[in-house]
Amino acid sequence: MKNIKKQKCIFDFDPGADDSVALTLSLYDEVLDIKLITTVCGNLSLDKVTRNALHLLEKFNRTDIPLAKGAKKAMFRISPDATFIHQNEGMGGYIPPKEVQTKPISDDAVEIMYETIKIYKKDIIIFVLGPHTNLGHLITRHPDVVDMINHIYCEGCAPFGLKSEGNWVEYISFNVSSDPEAFQIVLNSGIPITIIPSRMGRELANFTEEEVGFIKTINDVGKFVNEIYSGYWEPNYPDRRIATNDTCACMIMRFPKLFKTKKAFISVDTDKAPGKTNITFNKKGNVCYAYKVNKKQMHKIFYEGIKKLDRFKFY
């Protein structure tokens, strides 16, 4: 068996139902070497998302990974939350314990990110699965970091619009609109960025109700994922579906051939319609924008990832 080159990475996120599933599939991925996890206020309060992340590390025996609490609010505005879809405790239909035994490290998240990136400069990537607040502070406080990060993979933006009914506003996606100023800082930084737009997870790579039922049959981790998904149905669609936005942001790094991308310039409104993103496709663009996915193959890899976690028995 040939040696597999490990990719050093940082997870910066706000779990969150889909964030939790994305991390679950990544904790024992044979390629990913997770050096640090940082949490940020987003889907829920900082305390709750931190509790959820620590619970996942305990549940899957990965408390060896350091975790630091990040920003409690957006850089310049009041932070919304997304309990309307992630539920009160943030993990959909799964109810995590009120308290966990593992504690976050005492270091400031931005500073420990900076120190970690310096150690592995040019050879570390960051998965940004929530608002970009921690990255915004990092780049502002330590501008030299932009030349040390290999790549950012993130979820967010809806340059072609979303359904305007219910809780969703056309052209607005949660991770970007929660802190558009931070997203603007990241966009303008020059760090290579690959973006999974909101439409990807909701309409191109989503799970149907039947597929969610199949996940439950794989093993106990499948039952756990199914339990999360049971309280995470996407609103404003005529069918019952599960969005896979954050999972896609990890998969596009791991399995790039599953996706089709185009270089583009993306900008974000921070004034009249905060969070609205605009896109112009151009080979010299500031992002790599994912617009298509092999859904069948992506789902197959997802199921195989859960199957690899057979050793965990929860039920």
18, part of any domain: yes
- State residue 164's pLDDT score: 47
Within 8 A by CB and 6+ apart from 221, the residues are 24, 306, 309, 310, 312, 314
197, part of any domain: yes
* Token pair belonging to 191: 């760090």
* pLDDT tops 60 at residue 191: yes
What are the tens digits of pLDDT across the range 51-74?
999 999 999 999 999 999 999 999
What are the tens digits of pLDDT across the range 24-46?
999 999 999 999 999 999 999 99
* pLDDT tops 90 at residue 190: yes
Total domains, the chain? 1
Span 109-138, average pLDDT:
97
Span 295-308, average pLDDT:
98
267, part of any domain: yes
Split at pLDDT 50, 70, 90, the class of 166 is very low
* pLDDT tops 50 at residue 78: yes
Peptide bond connecting 16 to the previous residue in cis, omega within 30 degrees of 0: yes
- State residue 90's pLDDT score: 95
Measure CA of the first residue to CA of the last residue in the chain; give whole Å.
34
* pLDDT tops 70 at residue 295: yes
Top-confidence residue, 235 or 94: 94
315, part of any domain: no
* pLDDT tops 50 at residue 210: yes
1, part of any domain: no
313, part of any domain: no
Span 244-273, average pLDDT:
96
The enclosing domain of 166 has a CATH number of: 3.90.245.10
Dihedral (CA of 282, 251, 35, 15) sign:
positive
Mean pLDDT of the chain: 94
- The burial of 65, by beta-carbon neighbours within 10 Å (0-12 exposed, 13-18 middle, 19 or more buried), is given as middle
95-98-104 Cα angle (round to 5):
110
Span 257-284, average pLDDT:
93
Span 280-295, average pLDDT:
96
Cβ pair 84, 167 in contact under 8 A? yes
Beta strand extents in the chain (DSSP E only) = 7-13, 32-39, 67-69, 124-128, 151-155, 193-196, 207-208, 241-242, 259-268, 277-281, 287-293
Nearest to 59 by CA among 294, 290, 225, 251: 225
Domain that holds residue 29: 7-307
312, part of any domain: no
* pLDDT tops 50 at residue 168: no
- State residue 1's pLDDT score: 44
H or E element in which residue 141 lies: helix 133-141
- State residue 2's pLDDT score: 59
15, part of any domain: yes
Span 96-116, average pLDDT:
96
